[in-house]
A = this chain, B = another copy of it.
Amino acid sequence: MKLGVINVSDRASAGFYEDLPGKAAVALLEEWVTTPFETAYAVIPDEQSQIEAQLRQFADVENCALILTTGGTGPAVRDVTPEATETVCQKMLPGFGELMRATSLKYVPTAILSRQTAGIRRNALIVNLPGKPKAIRECLEAVFPAIPYCIDLIEGPFIEVDSSKIKIFRPSSP
């Protein structure tokens, strides 16, 4: 099984910032997921065509079951991660963005500025996360309980977790 993490950031990809958001996302997967997995990892600038190419590469060539992006979801002109995600996905899952924004709203009123979303490309689930490690954890904790079952439904690998760290949910009858 392969899981992908793409840190989308002009400044991190140019080496001005350390790649903390991407590392935070990988650390959460390593903390929670007990099924053995490899990580596909990239740090790229906020260029829509480059984000799309990286998502296609991780979904179609690397066969990642799950691809997490960090950053690039705000209203600024360089924030284009949701547009790239929507372009490469066959199906969008609006409930992810709704729940992540509702969760972040408990902490900051500016949560409504996030355009983060999720969608399906072939057998990969793509989920946009924010750019700050604290918000990455808050958002991924909120939606992760539904992720393994989502990946079952799109015929990806069966993902198991350490239930002392995070609870996931699979309906008993399909």
A interface residue numbers (CB < 8 A to B): 74-77, 79, 91-99, 101-102, 105, 108-115, 120, 125, 143, 145-146, 149-150, 153-154, 167-171
Contacts and interface: CB of A to CB of B under 8 A. Distances in A.
Contact of A143 (B74, B79, B96, B112): B112
A171 B96 CA distance: 23
For the complex of A and B, the 7 pairs showing the least CB-CB separation, nearest first, are A95-B112, A109-B145, A110-B146, A109-B169, A95-B101, A76-B153, A109-B146
B76 A108 contact: no
Contacts of A111: 95, 146
Nearest to A114: B95
A111 B98 CA distance: 11
A110 B171 contact: yes
Contacts of A74: 153
A149 B171 CA distance: 35
B75 A93 contact: yes
Given A79-B91, A113-B149, A113-B150, 14 more contacts: A75-B91, A75-B93, A76-B153, A91-B115, A92-B115, A93-B113, A95-B97, A95-B101, A95-B111, A95-B113, A98-B101, A102-B102, A108-B171, A109-B167
Nearest to A101: B95
Interface centre among A93, A110, A114, A153 (most CB of B within 10 A): A110
Contacts of A109: 145-146, 167-169
A131 to B, nearest CB: 10
